[in-house]
């Protein structure tokens, strides 16, 4: 159990259910039922699905932050770090083909529900955006670093959506390679080929 | 009422509700209640939400086909037709910022629900893909026409997802312009700048 609390286990379980089935389709009872604990114990930790969502979003944000910190520490050159970002499409391809991107799909679902947690969910995108922006600035592209960050985020999101619809691993690999080539072109110091 | 039947009205209403609120979050009763008709009349047309979904997907497919035929007839040059595709991001920007792309978001939701209508929903993507592939082939890019079609579809989807999260119209316009520039680069007959 590696020091994890019951609350941690509930959050991890809900995180997967929200991702795999969608937030709306996952009921409070669904989450409670997958846990091998008493109802009383479950309710002690969470009283509503919104409370669980709040905890899941905090969990995802913390995980994303830790991942970005790791890429930053491991990648000596900003371009290597950005390549780590591009490669999550390949690393997570099996789940992406089944369920799409966990960030994009949840943000879109919460927007349709006009849910109060939209801003919190979008923070994960903002985290990626700020991190990518910083890497592009370090590459000497300070003036358009934010536009480059948004461009790459969008390409990554689009690949996830179509990979999910067509279940096409070759497509993911091809697009990831093109993104890396695009990145190389940005590193040459020239204005980007639009 | 311009010759529309009650059934047409139900399908149009459901189409909007599925898009704006999501399929799962829209109940059979929600749709029935927005129509100013008796329950008996409503049930005469549809008995389940799945039946309504089936009709909505048929409606969307027919609308998409008509739109692509129109672009084909109006655009003398294949590049003009592809520009029409890129520009739907701008034409539909207000709804995209609120709800994302109707095609991408429904396909993703049905994938998470592991819904039987997934293949039917994906047909709309397949329609766009085949149409774009044909235009790229006409541009003399037969060998990689499908990859170019998928690339452009993905970019368009990614822009929709991020425009929805950040509600940023300037971003949509910037990315649409970049896609048009990318298209111009494909038209020069050179291999694409990856």
pLDDT in tens, B152-177: 999 999 999 999 999 999 999 999 99
- Confirm if A71 and A179 have CB atoms less than 8 A apart: no
C-alpha torsion sign, points A104, A110, A111, A113? positive
Predicted confidence at residue B105, as pLDDT, reads: 97
This model of the complex carries an ipTM of 0.94
- What pLDDT, in 10s, does the model give residues B137-147? 999 999 999 99
* Contact (CB<8Å) A125/B166: yes
- The owner of tokens 């994009």 is A104
Q: Which of B122, B123, B143, B154 to mutate to test the interface with A (most CBs of A within 10 A)?
A: B154
Given a cut of 50, is residue B191 above it in pLDDT? no
What's the CA gap between B82 and B133, in Å, rounded?
A: 10
Exposure letters A35-48 (e unless 16+ CB within 10 A, then b):
beeeeeebeebbee
pLDDT along chain A (194 residues), means of 10: 85 97 95 88 94 98 98 94 98 98 97 97 98 97 97 98 98 98 85 43
Q: A146: which 2 tokens? A: 């934010």
User: Is A102 in contact with A87 (CB distance < 8 Å)?
Assistant: no
Strand locations in B80-127, DSSP E?
A: none
The CA angle A91-A179-B119, to the nearest 5 degrees, is 65
Cα of A131 to nearest chain B Cα, Å: 16
Cα torsion angle, B32, B36, B40, B42, sign: negative
B116 reaches A (C-beta below 8 A) = no
Residues of chain A with C-beta less than 8 angstroms from the C-beta of B165: 104, 107-108, 111, 122, 125
Q: Per the CB < 8 Å rule, is B20 touching A165?
A: no
What are the tens digits of pLDDT across the range B58-98? 999 999 999 999 999 998 899 999 999 999 999 999 999 99
Q: Could you give the CA distance from residue B123 to residue B129 in angstroms, rounded to a whole number? A: 9
> Quick one: pLDDT band at residue B188, thresholds 50, 70, 90?
confident
Q: Report CA Rg, chain B.
A: 18
Q: What is the pLDDT of residue A63?
A: 98
Return the pLDDT at B189. Answer: 55
> Tokens 């520039």 — which residue?
B181
**Is B155 or B187 the better-scoring residue by pLDDT?**
B155
When CB atoms are compared, the residue of A25, A111, A155 closest to B99 is A111
Take residue A8 and report the two structure tokens written for it. 């941690």
In this complex, the residue of B153, B175, B194 whose CB is nearest that of residue A154 is B175
């Amino acid at each position: 159990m590696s020091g994890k609390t019951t609350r941690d286990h509930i959050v991890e379980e809900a995180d997967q259910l929200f991702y795999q089935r969608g937030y709306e389709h996952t009921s409070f009872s669904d989450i409670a039922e997958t846990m091998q604990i008493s109802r009383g114990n479950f309710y002690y930790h969470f009283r509503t699905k919104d409370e669980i969502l709040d905890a899941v979003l905090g969990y995802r944000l913390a995980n994303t932050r830790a991942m970005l910190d790791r890429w930053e520490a491991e990648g000596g050159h900003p371009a290597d770090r950005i390549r780590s970002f591009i490669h999550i499409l390949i690393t997570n391809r099996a789940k992406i083909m089944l369920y799409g991107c966990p960030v994009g799909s949840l943000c879109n679902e919460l927007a349709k529900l006009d849910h109060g947690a939209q801003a919190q969910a979008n923070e994960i995108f903002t985290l990626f955006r700020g991190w990518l922006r910083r890497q592009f600035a370090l590459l000497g592209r300070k003036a358009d670093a934010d536009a480059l960050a948004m461009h790459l985020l969008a390409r990554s999101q689009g690949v996830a959506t179509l990979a999910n619809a067509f279940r096409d691993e070759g497509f993911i690999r091809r697009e990831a390679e093109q993104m890396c080539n695009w990145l190389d072109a940005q590193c040459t110091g020239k204005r980007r080929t639009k």
